[in-house]
C-alpha cells in the first residue's frame, strides 16, 4: 500500500511517499508570485478619459490561476497513492482540501489535514514515518 505525506506551503510542496521499506521524496515548486512589480509601474491605476482602471483585479486573477496550476499539479501526484495526509504552515492546504473534497476518488484517500510549522527535510520525513507507524 502506497502512503504519502504532503508538506505544503505557498512556495513548494514536498510529497513524501512510503511503499513498504522504500522512501521517495518529490518536490513541486510553485510559480506563485505574490509581490510582482511590472516594468515602469508607478501608479496603481491608469487614467483613460474619465475612467480609472485598476490593475488589482488582473493581479488577483493571475494569482488565482497560478495557485490553481500549482494545486492541480499536486493532485495529479496524489492519484498515484492509496492513502495520504496533508500538513504545513500556510492556508494553501485549505485550498487543496477543497479541491480534494470535490473529487470523490481522492477524498476517500485523505486521512487528515494538519497544521505544522516550518520543518527541515529530515523533520518532514520523520513526521511522515511517525504518522504511518503501525
pTM: 0.81
State residue 36's pLDDT score: 66
**Tens-binned pLDDT, residue by residue, of the chain (134 aa):** 899 999 998 899 999 999 988 999 999 998 887 776 656 555 555 556 666 666 777 788 888 999 999 999 999 999 889 999 999 998 889 999 999 999 998 999 999 999 999 999 999 999 999 999 86
Q: In a 3-state reduction of DSSP, which class is residue 18? A: strand
Note whether 34 and 56 are within 8 A (CB): no
State residue 13's pLDDT score: 93
State residue 46's pLDDT score: 56
To the nearest 10°, report the CA torsion of 121, 123, 128, 129: 110
Question: What is the architecture, at CATH level 2, of domain 2-131?
Answer: 2-Layer Sandwich (3.30)
State residue 57's pLDDT score: 77
- Going from N- to C-terminal start, the domains of the chain cover 2-131
Amino acid at each position: 500500500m502506497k502512503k504519502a505525506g504532503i508538506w505544503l506551503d505557498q512556495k513548494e510542496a514536498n510529497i513524501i511517499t512510503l511503499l513498504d521499506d522504500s522512501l521517495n521524496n518529490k518536490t513541486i515548486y510553485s510559480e506563485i508570485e505574490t509581490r510582482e512589480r511590472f516594468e515602469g509601474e508607478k501608479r496603481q491605476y491608469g487614467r483613460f478619459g474619465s475612467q480609472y482602471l485598476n490593475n488589482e483585479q488582473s493581479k488577483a486573477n493571475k494569482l488565482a490561476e497560478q495557485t490553481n496550476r500549482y494545486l492541480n499539479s499536486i493532485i495529479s501526484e496524489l492519484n498515484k497513492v492509496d492513502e495520504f495526509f496533508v500538513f504545513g504552515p500556510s492556508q494553501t492546504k485549505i485550498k487543496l482540501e477543497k479541491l480534494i473534497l470535490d473529487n470523490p476518488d481522492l477524498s476517500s484517500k485523505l486521512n487528515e489535514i494538519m497544521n505544522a510549522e516550518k520543518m527541515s527535510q529530515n523533520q518532514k520525513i520523520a513526521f511522515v514515518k511517525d504518522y504511518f507507524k503501525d
